[in-house]
Chains A and B, each alone.
Chain A
Amino acid sequence: MDYLDNLEQRSLYIIREAYSRYRNCALLWSTGKDSTAMLWIARKAFLGKIPFPVIHIDTTYNSKEVYTFREMYEKEWGLNLIIAQNKMAIEKGMGPECNEKSECCEALKTIALKKTLEENSCNVLLAGIRGDEHEVLVREKGISRQCMDIFPDTRNMQATILDMYQSEIKTDNRLRIHPMIFWTVTDIWHYIKREKIPVLSRYFAHSGKRYKNIGCEPCCTPVDSTATTVKKIIKEHEDIRAAGKNGKTAEPEDAYTIQKLKSLGYM
Chain B
Amino acid sequence: MKMFYHRKFSHNNFFYNSFPLAIIAQSNNDKVTLMARLLYETRSLPDATMGEIKRIAKELGKDTGFAFVINEVKKEQEKNKNLHAMHFSFSSGKRAYTIIDTPGYNDFVQGMITGGIRVRAVVVIIDASGSVKDQVTGYVPLFNLLCFENLIVLINKMGIDAGQTDFRDMKQEICRFLSHFSLRPPVYIPVSLEQGDCPIKQTSRQHWYKGPCLLDVLDSIQPAETEENKPFRFPVQDVYAIDGKTVIAGRIASGSVKPGDRVVIYPQEEETCITEINIFHKTKVQKARAMENIGIVLDKAVSVKRGNMIAHRNGEVIPVTHLKAHIYWKAGYPLKTGSDMTLLCATQRVPCVAEKIENKINASTLEIIETGIDTMESDEAGIVTLQTEYPVIVEKLSFIEELGRIMLEKDNTVTGTGFI
Spell out A's residues near B (CB within 8 Å): 1-4, 6-7, 9, 12-13, 16-17, 19-20, 43-49, 51, 131-132, 138, 145-146, 148-155, 157-162, 164, 166-168, 182-184, 186-187, 190, 237-238, 241-247
B5 in contact with A247 (CB, 8 Å) = yes
In angstroms, how far is the closest chain B Cβ from the Cβ of A102? 27
B171 at the interface (CB under 8 A from A): no
A242 in contact with B417 (CB, 8 Å) = no
Q: Which residues of B have CB within 8 Å of A20? A: 237-238, 249, 306, 347
A162 in contact with B402 (CB, 8 Å) = yes
B107 in contact with A154 (CB, 8 Å) = yes
B85 at the interface (CB under 8 A from A): yes
Instruction: State the 9 A-B residue pairs at the shortest beta-carbon distance, nearest first.
Output: A154-B116, A3-B16, A186-B11, A20-B238, A242-B7, A148-B15, A44-B280, A167-B412, A161-B114
Contact of B11 (CB < 8 Å), options: A46, A187, A245: A187
A8 to B89 CA separation, bound complex (whole angstroms): 24
A242 to B240 CA separation, bound complex (whole angstroms): 45
B10 in contact with A153 (CB, 8 Å) = no
B330 in contact with A242 (CB, 8 Å) = no
A241 to B116 CA separation, bound complex (whole angstroms): 25
Q: Which residues of A have CB within 8 Å of B230? A: none
9-residue interface stretch from B63-71, B289-297, B309-317: B289-297
List 8 A-B pairs, Cβ < 8 Å. Answer: A47-B278, A47-B280, A152-B1, A152-B85, A154-B111, A183-B12, A237-B10, A242-B5
Contact of B414 (CB < 8 Å), options: A12, A13, A145, A159: A159
B413 in contact with A49 (CB, 8 Å) = no
B1 in contact with A150 (CB, 8 Å) = yes
Interface residues in B92-111 (C-beta closer than 8 Å to A)? 98, 100, 107, 110-111
A150 in contact with B2 (CB, 8 Å) = no
Per DSSP, chain B at the interface is mixed
B49 in contact with A44 (CB, 8 Å) = no
Q: Which residues of B have CB within 8 Å of A159? A: 414
Q: Which residues of A have CB within 8 Å of B86? A: 152
Q: Given A3-B16, A164-B407, A242-B47: A152 and B84 within 8 A (CB)?
A: yes
B240 in contact with A247 (CB, 8 Å) = no
* Chain B residue at smallest Cβ distance from A138: B1
Q: Which residues of A have CB within 8 Å of B242? A: 47, 49
Q: Which residues of B have CB within 8 Å of A45? A: 280, 293
B3 at the interface (CB under 8 A from A): yes
A237 to B12 CA separation, bound complex (whole angstroms): 13
B178 at the interface (CB under 8 A from A): no
Interface residues in B53-68 (C-beta closer than 8 Å to A)? none
A7 to B85 CA separation, bound complex (whole angstroms): 21
* Chain B residue at smallest Cβ distance from A195: B281
B162 at the interface (CB under 8 A from A): no
* Chain A residue at smallest Cβ distance from B116: A154
Q: Which residues of A have CB within 8 Å of B5? A: 241-242, 244-247
Interface residues in B334-364 (C-beta closer than 8 Å to A)? 344, 346-347
Q: Which residues of A have CB within 8 Å of B15? A: 3, 148-150
Q: Given A168-B412, A241-B5: A152 and B10 within 8 A (CB)?
A: no
B380 at the interface (CB under 8 A from A): no
B74 at the interface (CB under 8 A from A): no
A237 to B306 CA separation, bound complex (whole angstroms): 41
B118 at the interface (CB under 8 A from A): yes
* Chain B residue at smallest Cβ distance from A139: B83
Contact of A153 (CB < 8 Å), options: B16, B115, B116, B118: B116
A187 in contact with B281 (CB, 8 Å) = no
In angstroms, how far is the closest chain B Cβ from the Cβ of A181? 11
Q: Which residues of A have CB within 8 Å of B31? A: none
Contact of B281 (CB < 8 Å), options: A44, A157, A166: A44
Q: Which residues of A have CB within 8 Å of B107? A: 154-155
Contact of A247 (CB < 8 Å), options: B3, B289, B295: B3
Interface residues in B370-410 (C-beta closer than 8 Å to A)? 402, 405, 407, 409
Contact of B114 (CB < 8 Å), options: A2, A6, A150, A154: A154
Q: Which residues of B have CB within 8 Å of A9? A: 251, 291-293
B11 in contact with A150 (CB, 8 Å) = no
A179 to B65 CA separation, bound complex (whole angstroms): 42
Interface bits B116-152 vs A (CB < 8 Å: 1, else 0): 1110000000000000000000000000000000000
Q: Which residues of B have CB within 8 Å of A244? A: 5, 46, 48
Interface residues in B1-56 (C-beta closer than 8 Å to A)? 1-5, 7, 10-13, 15-17, 20, 46-49
A148 to B237 CA separation, bound complex (whole angstroms): 22
Q: Which residues of B have CB within 8 Å of A237? A: 10
B87 at the interface (CB under 8 A from A): yes
Not counting A3-B15, A190-B11, a sample of 17 additional A-B residue pairs whose C-beta atoms are within 8 angstroms of each other reads A3-B12, A16-B293, A20-B238, A145-B115, A148-B12, A148-B15, A152-B1, A152-B116, A164-B344, A167-B409, A184-B12, A187-B11, A187-B13, A238-B7, A241-B5, A244-B5, A247-B4
In angstroms, how far is the closest chain B Cβ from the Cβ of A50? 11
* Chain A residue at smallest Cβ distance from B17: A3
A147 to B405 CA separation, bound complex (whole angstroms): 16
A2 to B14 CA separation, bound complex (whole angstroms): 11
B247 at the interface (CB under 8 A from A): yes
* Chain B residue at smallest Cβ distance from A149: B118
A162 to B2 CA separation, bound complex (whole angstroms): 22
A3 to B14 CA separation, bound complex (whole angstroms): 9
A146 in contact with B115 (CB, 8 Å) = yes
A161 to B418 CA separation, bound complex (whole angstroms): 9
Contact of A154 (CB < 8 Å), options: B3, B84, B247: B84
